Amino acid sequence: MQQIRKTLCNRDCPDACSIVATVEDGRIVRLGGDPDHPITRGFLCYRTSRFLETQYSPERLTAPLLRKGGELTPVSWDEALDTAAERLLRIRGESGPAAIFHYRSGGSLGMLTTMPDAFFARFGPVTVKRGDICSGAGDAAQLADFGEEDSNDLADLKNARHILLWGKNVFTSSPHTLPVLREAKARGAELVLIDPVHHKTASLCSAFYQPRPGGDFALAMAVARVLFDEGWTDPRAADYCDHLDDFRALAQRRSVAAWCRDADVPERAALDLARRLGAERPAAILVGWGMGRRTSGGAIVRALDALSAVSGNLGVPGGGVSFYFKRRGAFDLAQLQGDRAAPRTVCEPLFGQEVLGMSDPPIRAVWVTAGNPVAMLPDSGAVAEALATREFVVVADSFLTDTARVAHLVLPTRTLLEADDVLGAYGHHYLGVSTPVVPPPDGVKSDLEIMQALARRVGLGGALDGSARDWKRRLTEPKLAPFGVTLETLERGPVRNPLAPQVLFADRKFPTPSGRVNLITEAPEERGDPDAGELPLLLMALSTDKSQSSQWARPQQGPAVVTVHPDAACGVPDGGVCRIASRVGTMTVRLRHDPAQRRDVALIPKGGHLRDGRCANALIRARTTDIGEGGALYEERVRVVPIAPDDLPQPLA
């Protein structure tokens, strides 16, 4: 007998899709998109539509693994949790809670995935991470400029005359924005893509500009110069913007032509973008996350914020500059925090070197929740070494990831189809609950169940007691109940966050210290690039339709595919095997030619596994962005190294 059940996708993606699962005799046989969800609209991305391959993979972990004699060996939950409690208590007693590092990332965006935070805040507090590998620079930029980080309602794009997709590949990273963009086009909006990478989103757009990687700040300044020179700024901008004169002076330091030369775009690009923003507003800017992953990432996003502000596109229907939707804003997470601040922090992009270098006390134990730092973070070798040299490492995951392989204890957790949680989204304002489509296999626990069992073993008693439904109610109703939204409301179907305005900053009041927009006034530091001659290509690890991060990518055979312009191939034919080399490593890859790409980039799929020799982060040094302590992941230079026929990898006999 078939049953239809619904849940929400909780993986690291802005769309948080509503999934319709067909269950037959206790097994899921089909996944589809929920036609009743206002964002999902009946379709799923390729990655989630294929999730049953992951759900029923023979590699799925269904018992705890404890390292004995150098090998990870299946054990009972009692032995696993008793071991964890004994080790954590001993390390805390000998070295203090700062010797324990809890690392939680975005492998699940469910609110109950933060329960380990509540445990370690009470057990310690312990060392935690700071910064954000993906969005740290952009987060810091928008908070500095506006005092808030949110967006106009997604459907408000249909009120725009122009939509600037600045560094954003919606086909891959935000597929459920596509119907809204197509509806906006049908109502007369024009779309423009600005991106150093040519991708499918260009097919939606009436114009496409391809600046050099990192040239976005210079292009934004060229646009600002045109806005000021042509009188296309908002006459009231001085009423709600601080430092307007200083921002104008920054834009006027160079001519439009000089700024465009720096950005490596034709001068007409700046003229066209300024016209759309200023003379023909309202115009919305959708900011891609990749631009923030540069050493000047914060300055780039701040420049785009300033363009939106001075052109009069803030606080109006069809306008705005959207980097993020405030997915946690509807939830009361304060009760998960402790009474005291963490004793110290580890910068996420510098994980390897900081953990290796910490002393007094050294980091002795690491607990990893919802993350795979060996594959996710730059300088993968240092991250792996840092974990392999700790006294006790625990990883909670459904699979034996690169990180789990160096752990002392691996605890099997639920998949998205087994999750019992509550979620927001960072690509729209809808809230919802995830409910188990099928029960988890015997031997698998949720993060909540793991931390509750551990709490009782370490003397915290019932501090975390309560069912998943109890905790969902505790996290949702304090903020939402005054608006008539209860847990039961969410269980009946998606609800738009009542705290989120349809148009952000409609009153032109901003939660900054002055109540006004804080415009950028200084250009990022200009740095020479001594590697540019020897290493002519900038490596960019990008999401694809099949892999957005390591949690989506199942192990694959053969070398990773790297895409370059034919002129940058160093004689390696299309489809040929070669190596790419950086200052810190080399990787065997298969080269793909694409004449639509710039000659100074090398594109590799994001999310490759280190054990498969496909992890781009093995080639990338650990560096931070200008603000927000994000990862400057797109600053690593590489070169193509042809391989002599005798040196090519040979097939196994």
110-154 pLDDT tens trace: 999 999 999 999 999 999 999 999 999 999 999 999 999 999 999
What is the per-residue pLDDT for 649? Answer: 54
- How crowded is residue 503: how many other Cβ atoms within 10 Å of its Cβ? 18
Helix then strand count (H, E) for the chain reads 19, 27
Tokens for 229, please give them. Answer: 């020179």
Q: What is the pLDDT of residue 652?
A: 40
Mean of pLDDT values over 604-614: 93
DSSP 445: B
Confidence of residue 646 (pLDDT cuts 50, 70, 90): low
Q: Which residues contact 268 (CB under 8 A, 6 or more apart)?
A: none
- Residue 625's CB is within 10 A of a number of other CB atoms, namely 31
CB of 349 within 8 A of CB of 341? no
Average pLDDT of the segment spanning 552-568: 86
Question: What is the pLDDT at residue 290?
Answer: 93
Give CA–CA dist 350/296, Å, rounded: 17
The C-alpha angle 266, 319, 134, rounded to 5 degrees, equals 75
Please list the alpha-helical segments (H only) found in 114-201. Answer: 115-123, 136-146, 170-173, 178-186
Tens digits of residue pLDDT in 169-185 = 999 999 999 999 999 99
Note the pTM of the prediction, 2 decimals: 0.96
Q: Would you place residue 648 in the very low, low, confident or very high pLDDT band (cuts 50, 70, 90)? A: low
Map out the domains of the chain with their CATH numbers. Answer: 2-55 (3.30.200.210), 65-133+338-419+430-461 (3.40.50.740), 136-323 (3.40.228.10), 537-647 (2.40.40.20)
Confidence at residue 647, expressed as pLDDT on a 0 to 100 scale: 64
- At 366, the amino acid letter reads V
pLDDT above 80: residue 87: yes
Rg (CA), the chain: 25
Per-residue pLDDT tens over the stretch 387-434: 999 999 999 999 999 999 999 999 999 999 999 999 999 999 999 999
66 DSSP 8-state letter: E
| Distance separating alpha carbons of residues 626 and 638, to the nearest angstrom | 22
Nearest by Cα to 101 from 340, 372, 358: 358
pLDDT, tens digit, 9 for 90 and up, residues 185-225: 999 999 999 999 999 999 999 999 999 999 999 999 999 99
Segment 5-14 shows an average pLDDT of 96
Residue 552 confidence (pLDDT) above 70: no
How high is the mean pLDDT of the chain?
A: 96
Q: Is the pLDDT of residue 630 over 90?
A: yes
